Amino acid sequence: MATWNMLSFQDAVSPIMEQLIMFHDHTMMVLTMITIAVIYMIMSLLFNKLINRFLLEGQMIELIWTLMPAILLIVIALPSLKILYLLEEINKPLITLKAIGHQWYWSYEYSDLKKIEFDSYMKQTNSIENNEYRLLEADNRITLPFNIQTRILVTSYDVIHSWTIPALGIKIDGSPGRINQGSIMIMRPGMFYGQCSEICGANHSFMPITMESINIKSFNNWIKNYS
């Protein structure tokens, strides 16, 4: 999860988040090269006293400074197209989780697992334990197995919400009357936190998302004991 003074991304727990971090580093490297080149040319113009009064046109120079930005854009665009394809690809999900945004809490449905349904409210400060996080803990956690393909369906009951867990690299808008779809593949067990990322009203900051990732055996036991 995010902590104080964290300037980078959270540790990736899904293949999509790993790809997003790699794409970020790739893009930042290209931008760094462009920035250094531009600063070098500006400094050269400022401190260079040589001029060419007779240079009226230079087709080769114009060709170069037209092609170079186009090539750089292609270098950035190709990896991003790959990630867009991965975000939309869902290969035979074994579990479907539906998240419904309300003002101001989330409700969840495991539609294909015994019709498991529950509401998830933020825990009050006076009820959190020592190992829990203020404003991020929910009274009912989402429980999902790791290394299992999961489909997430997001919608809203009233206004536009946004279901977001940064460590998973997932952010899906929940719009009234519409269902948006996403894919989750958790690679390891743990606790992962998120929040609504769309300003949805007065208590927008108080509808966290708490997800617990466990092995498939423990998940089956959780389903059997849920009632």
- Residue-range domain boundaries for the chain: 15-48+58-88, 95-226
pLDDT, tens only, 158-211: 899 999 999 998 999 999 999 999 888 999 999 999 999 989 889 898 999 999
When pLDDT is cut at 50, 70 and 90, the band that residue 82 belongs to is: confident
Nearest to 185 by CA among 213, 210, 166: 213
Fold designation for 95-226: Immunoglobulin-like (2.60.40)
pLDDT, tens only, 6-49: 788 888 888 888 989 999 999 999 999 999 999 998 998 888 87
Nearest to 114 by CA among 10, 30, 225, 29: 225
- Return the half-sphere exposure (C-beta side, CA atoms, 13 A cut-off) of residue 48: 9
- What is the model's pLDDT at position 133? 86
How many Cβ atoms are within 10 Å of 226's Cβ, its own excluded? 12
CA distance 99 to 95: 13
The answer to whether 94 touches 201, Cβ cutoff 8 Å, is no
